[in-house]
């Protein structure tokens, strides 16, 4: 249980670190970058009501402080042949003190695992797994997921349709 508490305290500390953004201009810049991170700084500055220099300094500050954690390409998994997405809810056997750490260390090694989240409540871990098809998912599940240490219970939920998926924050 102390593992979960430590993670919770760490998340609160991360949240407090980002609370310094109180400026409307910073939020405007972030909204513009969320919409299209590839836009030139000059365009972002113009739409944010700044000249290029001050806008660039604000972006650099937010990158330095960890508010902006990077700019990345959004890749369509289906265009690369991944047609199946399954959400796993896992309860761990926590009779051993290192159950969380051992499970997470091994789960991180599975390339098809896109997300690993620890939770408070009846379920300990939530993982997102992708596969090319159902046969591929079965192979991943039987040979790699079920081989993970300390699993007491596992529930699989297969994605049928995705109605909304955004990483954009309401800033």
pLDDT in tens, 127-168: 999 999 999 999 999 999 999 999 999 999 999 999 998 888
pLDDT in tens, 15-63: 655 555 568 999 999 999 999 989 999 999 999 999 999 999 999 999 9
pTM, two decimals, is 0.75
Using alpha carbons, select from 125, 131, 127 the residue that is nearest to residue 112.
131
Please tell me the distance from the alpha carbon of residue 155 to that of residue 70, in angstroms, as a whole number.
Answer: 33
Contact 77, 132 (CB under 8 A): no
CA 124 to chain centre: 16
What's the confidence (pLDDT) of residue 18? 54
Please tell me the distance from the alpha carbon of residue 76 to that of residue 104, in angstroms, as a whole number.
Answer: 26
Give the residue range(s) of CATH 3.30.70.920 domains in the chain.
77-158
Using alpha carbons, select from 104, 108, 115 the residue that is nearest to residue 159.
115
2-64: what CATH class?
mainly alpha
Please tell me the distance from the alpha carbon of residue 150 to that of residue 107, in angstroms, as a whole number.
Answer: 11
pLDDT in tens, 85-117: 999 999 999 898 999 999 999 999 999 999 999
Pick the CATH number of 77-158 from 3.40.50.300, 3.30.2010.10, 3.30.70.920, 3.40.605.10: 3.30.70.920
What's the confidence (pLDDT) of residue 73? 81
N-term to C-term CA, the chain? 33
Of all helices (H) and strands (E), which one includes residue 20? none
């Amino acid at each position: 249980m102390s593992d979960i508490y430590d993670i919770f305290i760490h998340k609160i500390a991360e949240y407090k670190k980002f609370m310094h953004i109180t400026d409307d201009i910073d939020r405007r810049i972030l909204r513009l970058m969320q919409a299209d991170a590839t836009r030139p700084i000059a365009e972002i500055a113009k739409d944010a009501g700044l000249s290029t220099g001050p806008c660039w300094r604000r972006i650099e500050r937010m990158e330095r402080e960890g508010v902006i954690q990077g700019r990345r390409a959004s890749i369509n998994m289906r265009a690369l042949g991944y047609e199946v997405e399954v959400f796993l809810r896992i309860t761990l056997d926590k009779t051993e003190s290192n159950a969380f750490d051992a499970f997470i260390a091994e789960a991180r090694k599975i390339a098809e695992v896109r997300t690993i989240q620890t939770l408070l409540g009846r379920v300990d871990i939530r993982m997102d797994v992708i596969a090319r098809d159902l046969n591929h998912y079965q192979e991943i599940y039987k040979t790699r997921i079920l081989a993970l240490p300390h699993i007491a219970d596992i529930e699989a939920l297969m994605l049928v349709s995705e109605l909304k998926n955004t990483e954009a924050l309401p800033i």
